């Protein structure tokens, strides 16, 4: 059988889980059709999901139709859980994007489309809720072609319930590729294999129409998945990608894998000499234990340690840095619980969702977590209560700022208390927006041995580095080891950890004094619908919020003449604006906001002053160094380090300026 892994993705309430249920039922994998609103949907087995009526965690199911063996991965639909959806996208062969016929393309649907393009996932579109009175097939198809791609082409009509393409669609398909069009003009058709290849290259996106709740169009979609998908080619060597960490009801840690090559058998040794002690293949909440799994399969391995989403095993390389990042910071209110117990539990949840970025400040004696939005925060509190019997609160959310550099700098760290020695020189330079923090080495092995260079790179990756303006996370820089020195007698690995961390901070302090440190803030990309007589108010508000907008567009919504404004604005300024929109439009307006990355902070001076961060007083991230004289170590202020360094600087000021 042809084995395919497909994920179902959608904006919340588009009917994603209902479609998953319908696919399983019509394929015979389920005997009874469950419903989200009844709390008995097969792929929403978690108690929290049943209570909320939304998908919070990704789940796996299997179905077979004729020659198709399909592993189905259901994903969360709420934007607050987008990071979990993104984890799944990296292991998919195909995605089924569900769009509501009544709501059309919504804000989060656009984000999902962007993520599918980012991960190059071939995509099939199912337009759901076609049974609604307001559903308009041509209007939705036109919107898909205008907003997403001209390659969004209807693959079913009243005469094509078997997955075949309507005869009228072949010309539209051919128009998406010049070579295919040339062949089409000669032959009058497009070969099935060519269609499959075009879908795989994301040149065309088959569109199916139906109503999942009534099972309309579901058989046609199943036939289309069987007809138009291609099984990937795999290598013989073992490779796998980790896409999820979870804990089962007994507390066992599960590492979820998609095999990208070879086979994995029980008792195989992988990852730091750990043995696979069991292989589980899940179907909803239940699983079977398999002696081995082969390339293409999805499984869960209990009790591995040191694994994380995005990790590559065997010949599989690591995944990309996630596109979806939280932008709100919350401080834990332990409410009489032991802080360290809270930290231990939150670290376990961070293991499952690395985007929580749990941070502990011994200086302030507080725990902070990073959150996407209010719904995720509510769910987090419920999880802490139900799984860990921990009733805690969180303070008011604050904007998660980040810091970067606008010009390269060379930072120096020296660590030489008695009988210890290490000096490290790091080049810290600006990197493309959204690239995060990357590390490298450009240091001769005769200057610093391979083992010590490895210690430096390991130390760089071992912690989140903070900026010196507000103590916010550092981003969009490349840090390169360029020089250093070790002592044959006194150096140990921990010395290079200390010298490396100090070098980062010393370089950032140098950049700050030179005016090259920069504060970044998150921005929204918004879509605002208001009445025509309210456009002036909306434009004034956006300008007041330091936002920008495109030329307004006219639109008809529910029979009302509306105006649509799209643009960008700082998250800090748009907090609470949805309530204002509801008030001045009397409930008829609509505001959709999606994170659009980080940009220079519009009021950096005020934010820096309000934060009142003391980078020298932050002893966990000190920029100073330790030198030795007269048989004892002594501290040296960061700005005195360059004059006392044992190794010459690699770059002059002029050379650093040219590196940007």
Q: Can you read off the two tokens belonging to residue 330?
A: 């919350």
Q: Can you read off the two tokens belonging to residue 145?
A: 């072609």
Q: At a CB cut-off of 8 Å and minimum separation 6, what does 405 contact?
A: 428, 429, 430, 477, 508, 511, 516, 517, 518
Distance CA 542, CA 230 (A): 47
The CA radius of gyration of the chain, in Å to the nearest whole number, is 27
pLDDT in tens, 48-78: 766 766 677 788 999 999 999 999 998 888 8
pLDDT in tens, 636-646: 999 999 999 99
pLDDT in tens, 525-570: 898 999 999 999 999 999 999 999 999 888 766 567 889 999 999 9
Q: SS3 string of 143-191?
A: HHHHHCCCCEEECCCCCCCCCCCCHHHHHHHHCCCHHHHHHHHHHCCCC
* pLDDT at position 262 over 60: yes
Mean pLDDT value across residues 462-466: 92
- pLDDT at position 36 is 64
Residue with the larger pLDDT of the pair 561 and 99 = 99
What's the mean pLDDT when you consider all of the chain? 91
pLDDT in tens, 622-634: 999 999 998 899 9
* pLDDT at position 221 over 90: yes
* pLDDT at position 161 over 60: no
- pLDDT at position 252 is 93
Confidence of residue 32 (pLDDT cuts 50, 70, 90): confident
- pLDDT at position 643 is 95
Q: At a CB cut-off of 8 Å and minimum separation 6, what does 186 contact?
A: none
Confidence of residue 38 (pLDDT cuts 50, 70, 90): low
* pLDDT at position 157 over 80: no
- pLDDT at position 587 is 86
Coil, strand or helix at 557: strand
pTM of the model: 0.82
Residue with the larger pLDDT of the pair 104 and 262 = 262
Residue with the larger pLDDT of the pair 148 and 659 = 148
Which H helix or E strand runs over 332? strand 328-333
- pLDDT at position 281 is 95
Distance CA 357, CA 488 (A): 38
Q: At a CB cut-off of 8 Å and minimum separation 6, what does 151 contact?
A: 176, 198, 202, 203, 204, 205
Tokens 């906001």 appear where?
A: 593
* pLDDT at position 501 over 80: yes
- pLDDT at position 162 is 60
* pLDDT at position 125 over 90: yes
Distance CA 452, CA 448 (A): 6
Angle at the Cα of 601 from the Cα atoms of 566 and 466, rounded to 5 degrees = 130
Residue with the larger pLDDT of the pair 405 and 488 = 405
Distance CA 32, CA 22 (A): 10
Q: Can you read off the two tokens belonging to residue 135?
A: 């559903």
Closest C-alpha to 106, from 526, 434, 517: 526
Distance CA 636, CA 627 (A): 7
Distance CA 147, CA 127 (A): 15
Confidence of residue 324 (pLDDT cuts 50, 70, 90): confident
Q: Can you read off the two tokens belonging to residue 167?
A: 């005869």
Closest C-alpha to 395, from 325, 334, 352, 315: 334
- pLDDT at position 78 is 83
Could you tell me if 164 and 136 are in contact, meaning their C-beta atoms sit under 8 angstroms apart? Answer: no
* pLDDT at position 372 over 70: yes
Confidence of residue 244 (pLDDT cuts 50, 70, 90): very high
- pLDDT at position 615 is 95
Burial of 128 from C-beta contacts in 10 A (0-12 / 13-18 / 19+): buried
Give percent above pLDDT 90 in the chain.
Answer: 71
Q: Can you read off the two tokens belonging to residue 21?
A: 């249920």
- Return the number of other C-beta atoms located less than 10 Å from residue 151's C-beta: 22
Confidence of residue 37 (pLDDT cuts 50, 70, 90): low
Distance CA 180, CA 190 (A): 7
- pLDDT at position 48 is 72
Distance CA 532, CA 544 (A): 20
Residue by residue, DSSP assigns 423-460 as EEEEEEEE--TT--EEEEE---TTTS-HHHHHHHHHHH
- pLDDT at position 556 is 66
């Amino acid at each position: 059988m042809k084995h395919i892994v497909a994920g179902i993705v959608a904006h919340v309430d588009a009917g994603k889980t209902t479609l998953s249920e319908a696919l399983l039922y019509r394929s015979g994998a389920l005997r009874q059709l469950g419903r989200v609103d009844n709390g008995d949907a097969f792929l929403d087995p978690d108690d929290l999901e049943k209570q909320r009526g939304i998908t919070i965690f990704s789940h796996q199911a299997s179905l077979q139709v004729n020659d198709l063996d399909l592993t189905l991965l259901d994903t969360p639909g709420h934007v607050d859980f987008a990071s979990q959806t993104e984890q799944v996208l990296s292991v998919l062969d195909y995605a089924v994007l569900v769009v509501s016929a009544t709501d059309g393309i919504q804000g989060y649907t656009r984000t999902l489309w962007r993520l599918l393009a980012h991960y190059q996932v071939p995509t099939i579109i199912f337009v759901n809720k076609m049974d609604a009175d307001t559903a308009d097939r041509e209007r939705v198809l036109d919107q898909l072609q205008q907003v997403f791609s001209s390659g969004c082409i209807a693959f079913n009509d009243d005469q094509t319930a078997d997955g075949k393409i309507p005869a009228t669609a072949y010309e539209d398909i051919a128009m998406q590729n010049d070579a295919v069009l040339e062949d089409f003009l000669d032959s009058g058709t497009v070969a099935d294999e060519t269609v499959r290849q075009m879908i795989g290259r994301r040149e065309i996106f088959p569109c199916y129409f139906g109503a999942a709740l009534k099972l309309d169009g579901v058989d046609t979609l199943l036939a289309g998945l069987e007809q138009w998908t291609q099984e990937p080619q795999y290598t013989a060597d073992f490779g796998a990608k980790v896409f999820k960490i979870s804990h089962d009801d007994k507390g066992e840690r599960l590492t979820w894998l998609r095999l990208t090559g070879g086979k994995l058998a029980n008792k195989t040794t992988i990852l730091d000499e750990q043995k696979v002690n069991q292989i589980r293949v899940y179907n909803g909440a239940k699983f079977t234990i398999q002696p081995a799994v082969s390339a293409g399969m999805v499984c869960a391995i209990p009790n591995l340690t040191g694994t994380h989403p995005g990790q590559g095993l065997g010949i599989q390389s690591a995944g990309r840095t996630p596109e979806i990042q939280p932008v709100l910071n919350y401080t834990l209110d332990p409410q009489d619980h032991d802080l360290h117990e809270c930290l231990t539990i939150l670290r376990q949840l961070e293991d499952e969702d690395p985007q929580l970025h749990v941070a502990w400040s011994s200086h302030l004696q507080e725990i902070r977590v990073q959150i996407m939005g209010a719904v995720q925060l509510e769910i987090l509190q419920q999880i802490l209560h139900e799984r860990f019997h921990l009733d805690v609160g969180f303070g008011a959310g604050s904007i998660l700022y980040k810091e970067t550099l606008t010009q390269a700098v060379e930072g120096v760290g020296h660590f030489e208390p008695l009988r210890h020695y290490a000096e490290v020189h790091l080049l810290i330079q600006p990197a493309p927006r959204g690239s995060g923090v990357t590390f490298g080495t450009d240091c001769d092995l005769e200057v610093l041995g391979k083992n010590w260079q490895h210690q430096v790179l390991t130390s760089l990756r071992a912690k989140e580095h903070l900026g010196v303006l507000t103590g916010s996370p550092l981003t969009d820089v490349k840090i390169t080891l360029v020089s250093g020195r070790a002592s044959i007698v006194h150096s140990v690995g921990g010395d290079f950890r200390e010298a490396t961390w100090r070098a980062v901070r010393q370089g950032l302090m140098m950049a700050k004094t030179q005016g090259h440190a920069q504060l970044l803030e998150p921005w929204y990309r918004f879509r605002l619908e208001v009445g025509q007589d309210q456009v002036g108010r909306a434009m004034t508000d956006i300008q007041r919020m330091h936002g920008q907008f495109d030329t307004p567009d006219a639109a008809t919504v529910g029979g009302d003449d509306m105006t649509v404004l799209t643009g960008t604005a700082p998250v800090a300024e748009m907090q609470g604006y949805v309530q204002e929109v509801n008030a001045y439009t009397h409930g008829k307006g609509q505001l959709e906001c999606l994170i659009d990355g980080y940009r220079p902070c519009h009021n950096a001076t005020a934010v820096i002053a309000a934060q009142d961060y003391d980078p020298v007083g932050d002893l966990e991230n000190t920029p100073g160094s330790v030198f030795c004289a007269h048989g004892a170590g002594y501290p040296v202020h960061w700005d005195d380090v360059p004059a006392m360094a044992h190794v010459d600087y690699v770059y002059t000021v002029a050379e650093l300026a040219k590196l940007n």
